[in-house]
């Protein structure tokens, strides 16, 4: 009946670093690998900025807002009315900017073998999330494992191959909305 909002403390990282906090925990128990990876990237940037003495970058909030979420709260890091901690309108996360669609399970000769998680199609703009850096591509072609062209990857549990430049092993893939 009640659904807690997701905790977002990225705007408090500078203050937390200043008072000596040296470890943060990101909740991801009911979230996708994509959500956890993107959230960890955002917090890493906030921590690096705070340690280097750079001011908080508000685009970090925008990056988090783009992920599927149940609404955000600063929890006990802010003084707010109790009803600000709960989401009374929906019982699930709402997609904002991107949808997690697959994981790269193998990479050879410029082709990534993707284990699909959700539907995506030729023509979609995909975000490749990799520890070496994120990048966006327009998916121009896709193939089944037999090498035949396909237009749509229907979702779990199939595998497709897509052309990718640059590092890809272990990458996560999201379809931008």
Q: Supply the CATH number for residue 139's domain.
A: 2.40.30.10
Domain count along the chain? 2
Residue range(s) defining the domain that contains residue 145? 98-176
| Same structural domain, 128 and 161 | yes
The answer to whether the CB of 140 falls within 8 A of the CB of 129 is: no
> Within a domain: residue 146?
yes
> Looking at 87, 119, 138, which one is the last position of a domain?
87
Residues 111 and 152 in one domain: yes
Tokens of 84: 């600000």
173-to-113, 132, 161 alpha-carbon distances in Å: 11, 14, 13
The residue among 56, 87, 118 that closes a domain is 87
Residues 73 and 104 grouped into a single domain: no
Query: In this structure, are 18 and 72 located in the same domain?
Result: yes
Q: Are residues 171 and 140 in the same domain?
A: yes
Using alpha carbons only, how large is the chain's radius of gyration in Å? 18
Q: Has residue 69 been placed in a domain? A: yes
User: Could you tell me if residue 37 is inside a domain?
Assistant: yes
pLDDT at 174: 92
Phi-psi region of 66 (alpha: psi -120 to 50; beta: other; left: phi over 0): alpha
The predicted model scores a pTM of 0.68
Q: How far apart are CA 38 and CA 36, in angstroms?
A: 6
Please give the Cα distance from 7 to 76 (Å, whole number).
10
Per-residue pLDDT, 3: 64
pLDDT at position 1: 46
Q: Please indicate, yes or no, if residue 113 is contained in any of the structural domains.
A: yes
Q: According to the model, what pLDDT value does residue 2 have?
A: 55
Q: Consecutive 10-residue runs of the chain (177 residues): their mean pLDDT?
A: 73 92 81 87 95 94 82 68 52 65 94 96 95 93 96 91 94 92
Whether residue 159 lies inside any domain: the answer is: yes
User: Both 19 and 76 in a single domain?
Assistant: yes
Residues 45 and 114 in one domain: no
Note whether residue 92 is domain-resident.
no
43 domain-assigned: yes
Locate 32 and state its tokens. 């996708």
Q: Domain ends where: 26, 57, 87?
A: 87
Sign of the C-alpha dihedral computed for residues 69, 71, 73 and 75 taken in this order: negative
């Amino acid at each position: 009946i009640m659904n807690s909002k997701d905790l977002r403390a990225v705007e408090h990282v500078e203050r937390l670093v200043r008072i000596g906090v040296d470890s943060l925990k990101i909740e991801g128990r009911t979230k996708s690998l994509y959500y956890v990876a993107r959230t960890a990237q955002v917090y890493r940037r906030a921590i690096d900025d705070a340690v280097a003495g750079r001011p908080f970058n508000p685009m970090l909030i925008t990056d988090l807002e783009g992920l599927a979420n149940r609404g955000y709260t600063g929890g006990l890091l802010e003084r707010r009315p109790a009803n600000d901690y709960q989401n009374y309108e929906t019982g699930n996360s709402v997609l904002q900017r991107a949808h997690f669609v697959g994981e790269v399970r193998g990479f050879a000769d410029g082709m990534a073998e993707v284990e699909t998680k959700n539907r995506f199609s030729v023509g979609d703009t995909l975000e490749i999330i990799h520890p070496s850096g994120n990048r966006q591509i327009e998916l121009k072609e896709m193939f089944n494992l037999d090498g035949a062209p396909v237009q749509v990857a229907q979702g779990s549990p199939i595998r497709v191959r897509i052309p990718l430049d640059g590092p890809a092993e272990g990458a996560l893939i999201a379809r931008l909305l």
